[in-house]
Chain A
Amino acid sequence: MDTSILLHLIIWPTLFGFIINGLFGARLPRGLVGLIACAGPLLGFIATLIIYAGQPLLEPIRFTYYNWFTIGLGNQVGFSVHIDALTVLMLFVVTGVGTLIHVYSIGYMRDDAGYPRFMAYLNLFLFSMIVLVTASNLVLLFAGWEGVGLCSFLLIGYWFGNTEYNKAARKAFVMNRIGDLGFILGIFLLANHFNSVDIVTIQQSFGEYSQNDPLLVTITILLFIGVCGKSAQIPLFTWLPDAMAGPTPVSALIHAATMVTAGIYLVARMNILFSLTPLTLQIILITGVVTAIVAASIALRQNDIKKVLAYSTVSQLGYMAASLGVAAYTTAIFHVMTHAFFKALLFLGAGSVIHGLGGEQDIRKMGGLKSKMMWTHLVFLIGTLAIVGCPPFAGFFSKDEILAVVYSWNFWGFVILAVASVMTAWYMFRLYFSTFHGSYRGDHHVYNHAHESPAIMVGPLFVLAVLSLIGGFAGMPEVLSEHHMVHQFLKGSIIDHTHEVSHFFEYSLWGITVLALAIIGVLCYRIYGRQYPVGQSSGGVLAALLDNKFYLDEIYDASIGNPLKALGKYFGKVWDPMLIDAAVRTPGNLLQRASVGLKPIQSGQISWYIFSILIGFLIYAFLFLVKL
């Protein structure tokens, strides 16, 4: 088959779905709306499969739809597609997980009044995400980047009747904009100095630059600021937990599986550039490690089922960033993939619980749901085991690989990540046991009505559970197998700079992991599994610190938000009327006066008109004489 047809099939159906559902969705039957919405990502997934099956992908597939504009010396910036191994892998995640979540949404959002709008937004999101991962230049990538940001904003504030949700949407947007500013400045610098924004040509033009060249460091740091915003790294991560205001499928798709990994994708995409700047990599490593531990520690004391998962996502993104920071880009992308499987599974499972309990999200009011929701319980358990890194689930392989590569570069980074791993195990087991084990602690009216979700929601959960179970085998560590499939596949797109670790370290790491998990599992079961410690008094300063998320929101408000607001008020009250208003009004008033003042010359008298023609002509003649 002609490749360009496949490209059209990947890109356009989602946009088509958005337009149809967005314009006519309210008038179409709901079944058709769901069908149209799911067809987009499914077609994309199938087309990606065909590309994967039919092409060795040694050379990237490039296709230009339209030349947008020209920069510098005739370099075209176009609507053009670049498909290589990395893109294909990301497309698999985006369209594959995307399809499952679309199907799930049909069940989850069935009774919502804005169902067509929701489906249209989801399609638009997928379209933007596909543009982001297939873009052949940074400008188009940025367009997709902004598109997903917009959709994130729209979907977080999907229930716009609720002011809190709107605030969360606004926060996400503003935080992302701060990052985007860095990103776009980075693009400008690149375009300015290298005369191109194409992701391939630009990475070939760094030959003459030495390591840690100030220009390159500036560019990479600017790009990384963009990554911090989109991939929720410290200091810009505070929007992601609030983003849980959106419907649960949104949290699963946008704020766990796909959009937040866009930043990781960007760094992996520009890996040659980042590898030239070890200084930036060091910053990325530190940021990632700190993000991982800070988010994991906050998650320990959260009581909202989705908030726990949100902080867990931030923490996992920290892992990915840490992996990028040691130039192990492939490992980061591998974790993006496995994380997409199990985190989507966990979110959708949590959504199933919330759905079954009629909207309850507080784990203190749950418990004992094992018997009521057998399938959800099963898949949630698989998801939990995957995220805590229990062999042979998906998370084990990718997380183990991250720990190993970080260890080979930086011992203390490894130690902190290991501690974060322990925390991960703790908050996930806590979440699992307090939700499904023990006895129900909420309103018994709700409990009696608790039910398993419909097949259309459980189906996608099973697919994701299977993926969480076996997805890790795509990347078997070097000790076990000669072929690390992900590394093999991405060889053409990414050049890693990793060190080998000893086999002894690998084996001992596994042993310690299994042992630690067993201990934590038993402990959690004893504490949370039987009877949840209700009314347990919080202990000390540290607990208060964790409960209040390290007071980060308050600190941001006090240090940046409030001064800015005060400045705005000052300018609005003092400068604006004095300077801007006056500057606008004065010329207007002068003009009015001039107009009225000049009116008498249009007297209506022909004699005067003829006289004025004469005067005009004399002026001409005078000018003519002077110039001659």
Chain B
Amino acid sequence: MLSIVILTVVATVVLYLGFTQYKNVIIPFAVTGIVLVLFCLLTNQSLWNNWFMNMMDIQGSSKIFSVLIVGTTGCLLPFINLFRQRGAEEVADFTGILLYAIIGGMMMVSYSDLMVLFLGVEILSIAMYILAGASRKRVASNEASMKYFLLGSFASAILLYGIALYYTSTGSFRLDIGNSGQSALLNLSYLLLFAGLSFKIALVPFHFWAPDVYQGTPTIFTATMATVVKISAVGALYQFIRYCGVNMSDWLFWLISLTAIASILIGNIMAVTQHSVKRLLAYSGIVQAGFIIISFLNFDPKDSWIILYYLVAYTLASLVTFLGTHFIEEVSGTDDHSAFKGLYYNNPFLAVVMSVALISLGGGPLTAGFMAKFFVLSHAATAGNMALVVLALILAVISLYYYFRIINAMFSRTNDTRNWEIHWTYRGIFAILSLVTLAAGIAPYWLVNLLK
């Protein structure tokens, strides 16, 4: 509770700072707030034991999800300063909104009452609708914002309908009441809830928004969507399955298998011929989401570290690729994959860290992404879903093609010899993210123990 209070206070102060002359202190102040929140989370500081009458509880895996959300935001915040170089002065607004957004995210991963889930989804989503349109003067950004808003509202409606049906059949919004009934109405509510959350995670067939919105949104907030929003939504799904998975194990198995394979297949096929790297990464995000939900099969709360490990690996790599793409967009004005050509000769540091991240996304050995896929698939294999594992592995090969196409472009020679600098803060963040990716890939068990 304390962490949410701190975030609210910090976000509000940030908004006021925007009216003053002290625009330089906004980001340092916000990062300090994030550090404070992380401290509170990790040391279990709290004001009250009773959270909204136990409607939410940041404990156990919820805590790790929250730490992940807050930490990711901490990495993202410094990049907001880049908007000032473009002449946009709304840094305070973006920072404040982003901080409000993660309050929603934390609610989504720690609810035990569907009302809190809905509040969280809406807080996060509405903040993201605004951030998607952060470049007010660009048509693409406005279009992305609008599309995200319309489709997101539709998804919220589905979610809300699911909540309503749940209330109808159980007489409560709480998930932890141990309901074991099998009424058709209850099952329908589960189905609607799953569909609503699938939209937020961007799973097939609810993925259509992702490529369009990712491409139009300013890249820093695309990174936010790909990481913070996805972590929150996966966390919400995790809570949902943790409470209700037992009741629907039979058809949930088919639902998840089908969704996972469809996501991996469609995402991969569509990614192969994309020219825009942001679009490509959107499809790759769909594929990754497919892999993540494979670990929900044969769900056991003891294995939550597999999901968390995958999320960590995915987040580390996504942050580097999206934020790196931002710099390339700045320099060349486009995110077309030809803009990556010869990057190694212009900016070797960025090329190397992006290669590490892309290899990790593709599941290359010695990176966190490899171990993540390994854990997910070996968990599924031990549970006896061999067919699914084999299929996922074969399809995973396709993804190597489009990741390596970018790496190939980065390392091929060009005549373009513009040398450009990245501020050391950003290089430091990139370096840390890449080192953690490698460390978690070479010696995964320190991270696994941390996540347990």
Contacts and interface: CB of A to CB of B under 8 A. Distances in A.
A50 interface: no
A555 interface: no
A602 B154 CA distance: 18
Interface in B216-265: 250-251, 254-255, 258
Given A627-B250, A627-B254, A628-B187, A616 B204 contact: yes
Contacts of B212: 602, 604
Contacts of B209: 609
Contact of A595 (B147, B154, B195, B270): B270
A172 to B, nearest CB: 31
Interface stretch (A220-228, A529-537, A618-626): A618-626
A560 interface: no
Contact of B151 (A604, A609, A623, A627): A609
Contacts of A602: 208, 211-212, 270
Interface in A584-620: 588, 591-592, 594-596, 598-599, 602, 604, 606, 608-610, 612-613, 615-617, 619-620
A617 B191 CA distance: 9
B191 A609 contact: no
Contact of A598 (B154, B251, B266): B266
B248 to A, nearest CB: 9
A596 B271 CA distance: 10
B35 interface: no
Given A602-B211, A617-B158, A624 B251 contact: yes
A608 B212 CA distance: 13
Contacts of A623: 251, 254-255, 258
B184 interface: yes
Contacts of A617: 158, 191, 195
A604 B401 CA distance: 26
A625 B346 CA distance: 57
Scoring A595, A610, A612 by chain B CB atoms within 10 A of each residue's CB, the highest score goes to A595
Interface in B142-179: 147, 150-151, 154-155, 158
Given A623-B255, A623-B258, A606 B205 contact: no
Nearest to B147: A606
B269 A591 contact: yes
A612 B207 CA distance: 10
B251 A627 contact: yes
Given A591-B269, A592-B272, A628-B184, A616 B205 contact: yes
A616 to B, nearest CB: 3
A606 B188 CA distance: 26
A592 B272 CA distance: 7
B206 interface: yes
Given A620-B255, A621-B191, A628-B187, A613 B269 contact: no
B199 interface: yes
A594 B205 contact: no
A597 B270 CA distance: 9
A624 B270 contact: no
A615 B212 CA distance: 20
Nearest to A591: B272
A297 to B, nearest CB: 52
B273 interface: yes
Contacts of B271: 595
B429 interface: no
B398 interface: yes
Interface residues of B, number: 33
Contacts of B158: 613, 617
Contact of B269 (A598, A604, A610): A598
- Interface of B, secondary structure class, is helix
Interface string A553-596: 00000000000000000000000000000000000100110111
B191 A628 contact: no
A606 B187 contact: no
A595 B191 CA distance: 30
A608 B209 CA distance: 11
- Interface of A, secondary structure class, is helix
Interface string B268-292: 0111110000000000000000000
A606 B251 contact: no
B151 A592 contact: no
Contacts of B199: 613
Contacts of B401: 588, 591
Contact of A591 (B208, B266, B398): B398
A231 B250 CA distance: 63
A19 B212 CA distance: 52
Contacts of A588: 401
Scoring A588, A604, A606, A623 by chain B CB atoms within 10 A of each residue's CB, the highest score goes to A606
A215 B195 CA distance: 61
B205 A615 contact: yes
B205 A619 contact: yes
B143 to A, nearest CB: 9
A623 B205 CA distance: 14
Contact of B270 (A598, A609, A616, A620): A598
A620 B188 CA distance: 10
A627 B205 CA distance: 20
Contacts of A613: 151, 154-155, 158, 195, 199, 205-206, 208
Contacts of B151: 606, 609-610, 613
A624 B187 contact: yes
Contacts of A619: 205
B206 A595 contact: no
A587 to B, nearest CB: 9
A195 B154 CA distance: 61
B191 A620 contact: yes
Nearest to A587: B398
A594 B195 CA distance: 26
Contacts of A598: 266, 269-270
Contacts of A604: 212
A608 B147 CA distance: 12
A34 B430 CA distance: 42
Contact of B205 (A595, A612, A621): A612
Contact of A606 (B150, B258, B273): B150
Nearest to A611: B208
A612 B158 CA distance: 14
Scoring B209, B251, B255 by chain A CB atoms within 10 A of each residue's CB, the highest score goes to B251
Given A617-B158, A620-B195, A628-B184, A612 B208 contact: yes
A599 to B, nearest CB: 7
Contacts of A592: 272-273
Nearest to A613: B206
B269 A616 contact: no
A465 to B, nearest CB: 51
Contacts of A596: 273
A613 B147 CA distance: 14
Scoring A588, A592, A616, A627 by chain B CB atoms within 10 A of each residue's CB, the highest score goes to A616
B53 to A, nearest CB: 33
Given A617-B158, A624-B187, A627-B251, A595 B273 contact: yes
Contacts of A627: 250-251, 254
Contacts of B211: 602
A139 B85 CA distance: 59
A577 to B, nearest CB: 21
A155 B398 CA distance: 42
A595 B211 CA distance: 14
Contacts of B206: 613, 616
Nearest to A608: B208
Given A598-B269, A599-B273, A615-B205, 9 more contacts: A592-B273, A610-B150, A613-B195, A613-B208, A617-B158, A621-B191, A623-B255, A627-B251, A627-B254
Interface of B: 147, 150-151, 154-155, 158, 184, 187-188, 191, 194-195, 199, 204-206, 208-209, 211-212, 250-251, 254-255, 258, 266, 269-273, 398, 401
Closest 3 CB pairs between A and B?
Answer: A616-B205, A627-B251, A595-B273
11 contacts: A591-B398, A591-B401, A595-B271, A599-B273, A602-B211, A609-B147, A609-B209, A613-B205, A615-B205, A623-B251, A624-B251
